[in-house]
Amino acid sequence: MDFLPLSHYSNKFWLMHKGDVNEEMALMHRRMAERGYKSTPQRDEIARWVFQTHDHFTVEDILEDFRKDGKKISQATCYRVIQMLLQLNLLIEHDFGRGVRFYEHTPGHPHHDHIICNECGQIFEFQSEELENLKESICQKNGFSMTRHNLSIYANCNRCTPEEKAEKAKKRRY
Amino acid sequence: MDFLPLSHYSNKFWLMHKGDVNEEMALMHRRMAERGYKSTPQRDEIARWVFQTHDHFTVEDILEDFRKDGKKISQATCYRVIQMLLQLNLLIEHDFGRGVRFYEHTPGHPHHDHIICNECGQIFEFQSEELENLKESICQKNGFSMTRHNLSIYANCNRCTPEEKAEKAKKRRY
DNA sequence: GTATGTGCAAAACGTTTGCAAGTTC
DNA sequence: GAACTTGCAAACGTTTTGCACATAC
């Protein structure tokens, strides 16, 4: 069991991957070409944002940043590009039961599970080989071929003080 | 690892618990009294439906059955009663990423995880003590006190033929 | 030039809420 | 009779869609 260095505490781990963004863009363009998707400035702009973000994000997060930067890309396009990235297997979708869909890009981001703090809303990631093997073997034994899985553990973290929790909970939009 | 006899194949397992409905109603009334909720015909009617249903259901499922039976209970009330049952810990909520919330009642229904078939949409249940222990130990080791968790495995089942899958997929609303 | 993608506004979806009227205790 | 619950319709927040215009190849 390994806890990844978490983007919420420090995103050093992921920043080491910064150089990958161009690689991921190239990968995307290859897959787009294969499937007949055309390359457009909007798609590139959104994809670059996505590949640069090493955290769980919502569509609103993208739009907010674009508004701040004065970039005008419509909401509809944004949703459509996210759908495309999902189709190209460059993104995965999470539903943490907060009424919004969260996304994270997959290239360079190995499978992991999530722990969501009930109190402060922070999303933590962890990996457990043992857990992965167990899931796989449960499926195999019972005649399922697993395509993806999603373990969300809701818990109370001991990472912040009650005061910090209250403050973070207040700031949470979702 | 045990596969429960699944309500989707046969609900014999759960039907054995049929006699519990009145017990569950009594439990609900006790908890309602404790917390100052008043007893109303609508609450009883909805609760009875919930406790009689040994399957994953949506609010729309309840309303549909009531419409069929000519029972007039408003949508708003239905949502409100579900919220109450959640508060009373008689119900748990699942989000299988289909845009609707699924519920199942907890009394007499031990914790289990889910496998959702990508092709036919059926929801299967299983229990694994090993898996539960592993989740618990991961949390403990890392300073989280787990309150609940949610493992959804998406897979292709081998339970029905391609034709049946196509047919079931067509019927799926969610 | 044709097929595809974009932006806008409107619709769709499940869910929640404000309020007046009705019910419970 | 005070407090709570209901039903209706309207509002909500996120996501999707229809359509006219623009762009990519």
- pLDDT, tens digit, 9 for 90 and up, residues B76-131: 999 999 999 999 999 999 888 778 899 999 887 878 888 888 777 777 888 888 88
Report CA torsion sign: B36, B41, B46, B49. Answer: positive
- Residue among B79, B81, B78 at smallest CA distance from B28: B81
Distance, CA of A45 to CA of A51 (rounded, Å): 10
Q: How would you label A84-107 residue by residue, b for 16+ Cβ within 10 Å and e otherwise?
A: bbeebebbbebbbeeeebbbbbbe
Is the pLDDT assigned to residue B17 strictly greater than 70? no
Q: What is the pLDDT of residue B141?
A: 85
* Average pLDDT estimate for A4-28: 56
Compute the 3-state secondary structure of chain B and give helix, strand, coil in percent, each to the nearest 5.
45, 20, 35
Distance in angstroms, CA of A93 to C1' of D21?
Answer: 32
Quick one: tokens of B11?
């609900």
Residues B154, A93 contacting (CB under 8 angstroms)? no
Bridge partners of B90? none
Distance, CA of A157 to CA of B116 (rounded, Å): 29
Amino acid at B150: N
Q: What is the pLDDT of residue A30?
A: 96
Q: What is the pLDDT of residue B7?
A: 36
β-strands A113-117, A123-127 pairing: antiparallel
Distance in angstroms, CA of B84 to C1' of D5?
Answer: 12
Nearest residue by alpha-carbon distance to C1' of C6: A77
Is the pLDDT assigned to residue A172 strictly greater than 50? yes
- pLDDT, tens digit, 9 for 90 and up, residues A87-126: 999 999 988 878 899 999 988 777 888 888 877 777 788 8
Distance, CA of A135 to CA of A146 (rounded, Å): 9
Nearest residue by alpha-carbon distance to C1' of D14: A100
Least confident of A21-30, A39-48, B142-151: B142-151
Q: CB-based contact (8 Å) between A150 and chain B?
A: yes
Nearest by CB: B154 against A141, A147, A152: A147
The angle subtended at Cα A148 by Cα A157 and Cα A94, nearest 5°, is 45
- pLDDT, tens digit, 9 for 90 and up, residues A34-63: 999 999 999 999 999 999 998 889 999 999
Nearest by CB: A144 against B1, B141, B156: B156
Q: In what order do the strands lie in the sheet with A144-157?
A: A2-3, A123-127, A113-117, A144-157, B144-157, B113-117, B123-127, B2-3
* Average pLDDT estimate for B5-30: 60
Cα A149 from chain centroid (whole Å): 14
Is the pLDDT assigned to residue A6 strictly greater than 90? no
